Amino acid sequence: MRYKICPICNTPAPEQAKECSACGASLQGVAVIDQYEQSSSTQPKNYDFHYGETDLVESQLKWRGGSYILGGTLLLAVLVCGGVTLFGASRLMAFLGVGTSVESITTQTVVATMENAVDLVTNTVQPTLFLPTVTADAPPTRTVTPSPAPTETPGPCMQQVQSGDSLIALVSRCGHKDLDVIDLVLDLNNLSSAEVIQVGQTLEIPWPTATPGPNLEVTEGVEPAGDEASSAAAVVAVADEDFTGIIAVPTATLQPGVMWHRIVRNENVISIAFQYGANVKILSELNPEIAFSQCDFGEFGGGPSCVVNLIEGQQIRVPAPTPTPTLSVTPSGSETPTPTATPTFNAPSARSPGDRALFRRQELVTLRWAASASLAEGQVYRVDVEDITTSTSYSMDTTELFLIVPVEWQGRDSRRHEYRWTVSVVDADVPNDPHYTTEPRIFVWEGTAEE
């Protein structure tokens, strides 16, 4: 049998075939052989390009990209070697001192060249001399400080007793920060004790004496204006020894009806709000520079998540008490004598802290309540405090309207303990039979241990 061998893929085909059955190459003009010997390679060693099927032979294609890459690599290598050689030669010449002679030769050549060149005129900026100005000593100018205009002395602070008020709350509304004025108020109003005040009764309370601010610079011939003249910033003592910083004190300009309050130890925003008859929302509006974090202004104390950081010595704005005007009545002789006050039933009501108030481990907790009447003879206030977290109960008797919770009642771990507290009116000899007990309240107090 005679064959035609495909010049492209070396596949044998019958002598009558016109195309290769494997690659489709044309077999026209291909010689016919009598015997086919299969070789180990299917690719012809010497390809005849006149068949026009050169696109099927990859081995015959030249890789021009490889030539470009190889040439570029060689050129880059030559440039790098040349740069390294020049750099090394310059360093070597400088080390051997050759550079000095070369520089000298170069300088001489430049000078010789410039001798034959045209002189160039350049505009050089003249330096400016700054000489100090000497001023002869002049006689000091006398500064005349005008004398302050006399201020009108305000009348006394008149307070009308409301339901649940105590004499301490009334004097606090007038700006007093201590209880030394209580005896003076009793004398001015002909009262025998602080417990005999009645609802609707109007009391005359003197205004507190203004004291100069600690940061006020006193000018000769001018009297200080009180706390309102304190500077805009001051470093104050802090109750917590771990805190060190600068406390921003508000400016001394106050709106009408607003006064300053200086923070003392163990005070918090709720006790201040109660002292001045305000709430947390009012205090936040008066002190925009203080952060009232997570406070619910719909509640008196801001809610259980309200956090307001106050530091001892800090000044905040509070509403000033408004004096109640009184009319002077001319006696006509037909007036009905005022009946003698009689004691009423004493039903205390809890004031502060607010329900679920949070206290840090370094803070002291002060429980406050208001009385509707004075204690009878032999009666005391029984304060019951229960540590709900550890199921521990405590109690203490007092005749005051507040109680500072002893630190011995504070938890000894790092957890937040919940405490439930109530105030009862009891007879000292029969403490287990209370006459009246307030609604229980909750406060949270961190334990003394560090986490």
Contact 354, 270 (CB under 8 A): yes
Helices (H), 155-313: 167-173, 182-188, 269-275, 280-286
Specify the length of the chain in residues.
451
Quick one: pLDDT band at residue 421, thresholds 50, 70, 90?
very high
pTM summary value:
0.29
Three-state secondary-structure class, residue 230: coil
137 to 42, 131, 134, 140: CA distances (angstroms):
115, 19, 9, 9
Helices 64-96 & 98-115 angle (0-180, nearest 10)? 90
Q: What is the pLDDT of residues 179-222, one digit of tens each?
A: 678 888 888 898 888 878 888 889 888 888 765 544 444 444 44
In angstroms, the first-to-last Cα distance of the chain is: 101
Q: Which residue has the tokens 């910033």?
A: 233
User: If you average pLDDT over every residue of the chain, what do you get?
Assistant: 74
Question: What does the DSSP assignment read for 113-141?
Answer: HHHSSPPPP--PPPPPP-PPPP-PPPPPP
| The two three-digit tokens of residue 330, written as one number | 């001319």
Residue 165 above 90 pLDDT?
no
Q: What is the pLDDT of residues 42-69, one digit of tens each?
A: 444 555 555 555 555 555 555 667 778 8
d(CA 331, CA 328): 9
pLDDT given at position 25: 86
- Of 423, 421, 341, the C-alpha closest to 379 is 423
Residue 245 above 90 pLDDT?
no
Q: Which residue has the tokens 């009447």?
A: 373
Nearest 5°: phi and psi at 90? Answer: -65, -40
Please state the CATH superfamily assignment of the domain spanning residues 349-446 in this structure.
Immunoglobulins (2.60.40.10)
d(CA 289, CA 247): 11
- Which of left, alpha, beta for 302 (phi over 0: left; psi -120 to 50: alpha)? left
Lowest mean pLDDT among 160-169, 286-295, 296-305, 325-334: 325-334
Q: Which residue has the tokens 């309102």?
A: 228
Nearest-10 Cα torsion for 431, 437, 443, 445? 0
Amino acid, single-letter form, for residue 173: R
Fold of 155-211: Membrane-bound Lytic Murein Transglycosylase D; Chain A (3.10.350)
d(CA 104, CA 98): 10
- Of 441, 263, 292, 262, the C-alpha closest to 353 is 441
pLDDT given at position 22: 85
Q: What is the pLDDT of residues 267-298, one digit of tens each?
A: 888 889 888 888 889 999 889 889 998 898 88
Question: What does the DSSP assignment read for 267-331?
Answer: --HHHHHHHTT--HHHHHHH-TTS--BT--TTSTT--TT-B----TT-EEEEEPPPP---PPPPP
- Of 3, 17, 5, 10, the C-alpha closest to 57 is 10
d(CA 284, CA 270): 12
